[in-house]
Chains A and B, each alone.
Chain A
Amino acid sequence: MKQQPLIKRRIVVTVICAIVLICLIYFTARDRDRLSIAERVAREIFSPIARGASKIVREISSWASYLASIGETKAENERLRSELDALRHENLQMDEAVRENERLKVLLDFKDVLGGSAVVAKVSYRDPGNWLDSVVINKGSDDGVSSGYPVVTDRGVVGRTTSVTCNTATVVLAVDSRSAVGGIDVRSRDLVLVEGLGDGSGLLHVRPLGAENDLEPGDVIITSGLGGVYPRGYVLGDIISVEPGKYGVSKSAFARPRVDFDRLDEVLVLADQIEGTLGEMQ
């Protein structure tokens, strides 16, 4: 008899939890300009720590591969080895610095090409789950970044910003299933819609907008500038295969982005979408 109120209470708590969670999911399923205070605080604290942790892990893994390689040089005497270790370590650090310098230089050169203002940002961490393709960058509203800004690298489109805090912003990657970008085939001038497959293949689905179209493997797809988010002229990807549509009337294609989404480090957020328009020389 005593158990009945307990069971009743559990059912009530479960139902209330379910309703609250469903409401939360409903209100956060779409892109939001403003995040709640709790979310902002969590991200502001977590982002720099995550950035530091991934930097340390990168350093350790480069050290580990270095240590694996010195197994072959056991015969060398201790003094030379320690000297060599120190020099190699120094060299590694310098190499890393040079590589970072080169990457940033490319981004800065690229930034100079753009007419509008652009913000250089670094990737802090990725989505902790396995289902959504998004990353969080270390620039936010304090640096002039808002929701809906295009994010690019010198290799092409990365994605668009969604939820922004003072010092962080979520970037929904172009390969995410929630992403759709208006594009144009450079060779045939066909207008297409480029959607993320979100299946882990890292490919994009290219759907022509007109019934008559001429897509071929090897064609380059660039942003059309018609969607209102991405400026015209940024590379979305190269078509790798073309398939006939459901009823054989039109074709659809798959494209491989030039951006390596698994190794994203530095990106550019275009704070001025219209001014950021590029020519098609890319």
Chain B
Amino acid sequence: MRRLKNLWIVLGIFAALLLQAAVLPVLFPRWVVPDLVFCFSAVVSIIAGTGPGVAVALLGGLCQDALTGTFIGASAGANMAVAGMIGFVEPQLFKENLVTPAVIVGAGTVIREAIYIFVIWSFGAGIDLVRAFGVVIPWITVLNCCTGALLHRWMYLLPRERERSGSTTSV
């Protein structure tokens, strides 16, 4: 059962990377692309807490960085930091609606991008801060909010609804 779950997580990361790197840029050239790998790790953190969230963030972030071969660890570090923060507040979260994951993923996106920009800037990448905070981050935040809410519904709310309806029928 656990192995099956791990397989689903690996497949999820692979699908997120494929969509992010090869599908969405072809469908929407010149558009900002949502960070699906981050959304996935954030939602896992919301659902399952720090440990699984940080593990998905590490694996997904490293794969994301390894695909282009530069600043390896920057995405992983930023994703892990935010997944850890989300995991820290996870016991206090009300998970039965879509607003919570949207807000958490949105806030997490801003922190994640700020950490990532700071790290790659520290290691020599040039970043236009006005565009980053004025255009790119707001757009990624909006897109990630929607993606986070959808993922939460798909990974947490729908299985619970199905469980509930299954138990009602059996009663």
Interface residues of A (CB under 8 A from B): 14, 17-18, 20-22, 24-26, 28-30, 32, 35, 38-39, 42-43, 46, 49-51, 53-54, 57-58, 61, 124-132, 134, 136, 162-163, 170, 177-178, 196-201, 262-263
Q: A28-B72, A132-B68, A200-B136 are in contact. Are A262 and B29 (CB under 8 A)?
A: yes
Q: What residues of A have a CB within 8 angstroms of the CB of B18 in the complex?
A: 46, 49-50, 53
User: Given A128-B17, A262-B30, A263-B29 in contact, is the A178-B124 Cβ separation under 8 Å?
Assistant: yes
How many Å lie between the Cα of A245 and that of B107 in the bound state?
Answer: 39
Q: Are B77 and A28 in contact (CB under 8 A)?
A: no
- A50, closest chain B residue (CB): B22
Instruction: Bin the interface of chain B by size.
Output: 35 or more
- Interface check B74, CB cutoff 8 A: yes
Q: Identify the closest chain B residue to A196 (Cβ).
A: B126
Q: Give the chain B neighbours of A38 by CB distance below 8 A.
A: 66
Whether A199 contacts B131 by the Cβ 8 Å rule is: yes
Q: Which residues does chain A contribute within 8 Å of B29, judged by CB atoms? A: 262-263
Task: Compute the total of residue contacts between A and B using a CB distance below 8 Å.
Answer: 145
* A-contacting 9-mer, from B2-10, B98-106, B113-121: B113-121
From residue B76, how far is it (CB to closest CB) to chain A in Å?
6
A54 and B17 within 8 A (CB): no
Give me the interface of B with A, judged by CB distance under 8 Å.
Answer: 17-18, 20-23, 25-27, 29-30, 32-33, 35, 37, 63-77, 80, 84, 116-117, 119-120, 123-128, 131-132, 135-136, 140
- How long is the Cα–Cα vector from A178 to B125 in the complex, in angstroms? 6
Contact assessment for B69 and A162 in the assembled complex, using a CB-CB cutoff below 8 Å: yes
> What's the Cα separation between A199 and B22 when bound, in Å?
21
Contact A128 B68 (CB under 8 A): yes
Q: A178-B124, A198-B127, A200-B136 are in contact. Are A57 and B69 (CB under 8 A)?
A: no
Q: Tell me which residues across on chain B come within 8 A of A125, comparing CB atoms.
A: 21-22, 25, 67
Give the distance to chain A from B49, nearest Cβ to Cβ, in Å.
13
